[in-house]
Amino acid sequence: MDKFSDYPTSLTAPARDAAAVVPNDAADLPMLPRALYVGVSGDISARLAGGQAVLFRNVPSGSVLAVRARGVNATGTTAAGIVALW
């Protein structure tokens, strides 16, 4: 039973869904996530919702990046086990 199923999902609420991210220099994610989980430490090259490209260096494993990324680039990304949180 989910007592909170009628509550709206806001950006500060816990994620309800997740999907593995396959870094790709051209393809966007199917929808904008609320954050990215990083399973294996490294760099993440992301394309943000506002159109900016950014490189997050040395992201530790187990981190949650609170960014709305429309895509994660293969070029420049050395982190692995990336999961989009919705």
Residue 37 resides in a domain? yes
Q: How confident is the model at residue 5 (pLDDT cuts 50, 70, 90)?
A: confident
The domain in which residue 34 lies consists of 18-85
Sign of CA dihedral 73, 74, 76, 77: positive
Structural domain count, the chain: 1
Residue 7 resides in a domain? no
Among candidate residues 54, 52, 63, 55, the one with its CA nearest the CA of residue 85: 63
Residue 12 resides in a domain? no
Tell me what the mean pLDDT of segment 50-56 comes to: 97
Residue 58 resides in a domain? yes
| Comparison of pLDDT for 78 and 9, the residue scoring more | 78
Q: 52 with 79: CB under 8 angstroms?
A: no
Residue 56 resides in a domain? yes
Residue 78 resides in a domain? yes
Q: How confident is the model at residue 12 (pLDDT cuts 50, 70, 90)?
A: confident
Residue 2 resides in a domain? no
Count of H helices and E strands in the chain? 0, 7
> Could you tell me the pTM of the whole model?
0.91
Residue 25 resides in a domain? yes
CA angle, 36 as apex, 30 and 40 as ends, to 5°?
120
Among candidate residues 82, 79, 73, the one with its CA nearest the CA of residue 28: 73
